Amino acid sequence: MSDIVRAVSSTTLAKAWGTLAQHSFELRRRDGRWQHLVRETYDRGDGAAVLLCDIAGKSVVLTRQFRYPAYAVGDTPLLLEACAGKLDGDDPETCARREAMEETGYRIGRLERVCRCFMSPGAVTERLTLFIGTIEGAADAAGGGLEHEGEDIEVVRLPVATALGMIGSGDIADAKTIILLQHAALTGMFG
């Protein structure tokens, strides 16, 4: 990559839940000229997300939880989402299975990798590996997340058709969840 970008300096601006850094670099433009730029990045580590699907019941299990950034911009702060979490040293599949149990109480049967993607590549370094996971019957545990992580998660089961409609109405506004629901619809998972 040194033929298109040259690092000049990086400075850590804050380090708490993640690391906010400022980077000074030179980028080679398509016409060959070098341009000096400064950008901030936020690094909180990579993660995994899984859409829990009950194929026989034609339903999905989502989580509803408070998200401060949504609140900060005046949007609805209780977002409906596919369960997700940081890898914390695990591989993406292990993380997806762990988060499903912690957040929803459901044990995943078959787990299918959909993709690995950046959710906001203009400033956030996090890459998410997205999965579809199948479940059957009732939850094995209560779910709800981990209080010491600040989680207070409501488990929400919806007919898949209702969840898909909630994308258009804006009631589901989380990108990873939209991608996973649309993947399930496009691949005909629910018939």
Task: Tell me: pLDDT of 144 over 90.
Answer: no
Q: Which domains can be identified in the chain, with CATH numbers?
A: 5-43 (no CATH), 47-186 (3.90.79.10)
Going by DSSP bridges, is the β-strand pair 59-66/47-54 parallel, antiparallel, or unpaired?
antiparallel
The β-bridge partners of 101 are none
Q: How confident is the model at residue 82 (pLDDT cuts 50, 70, 90)?
A: very high
Confirm if 91 and 98 have CB atoms less than 8 A apart.
no
Task: Tell me: pLDDT of 1 over 80.
Answer: no
Q: Which helix (H) or strand (E) holds 37?
A: strand 34-43
Question: 128, exposed or middle or buried, with CB in 10 Å at 0-12, 13-18, 19+?
Answer: buried
Q: How confident is the model at residue 152 (pLDDT cuts 50, 70, 90)?
A: confident
Cα–Cα dist 191/183, whole Å: 13
Of 118, 110, 113, give the one whose Cα is nearest residue 183: 113
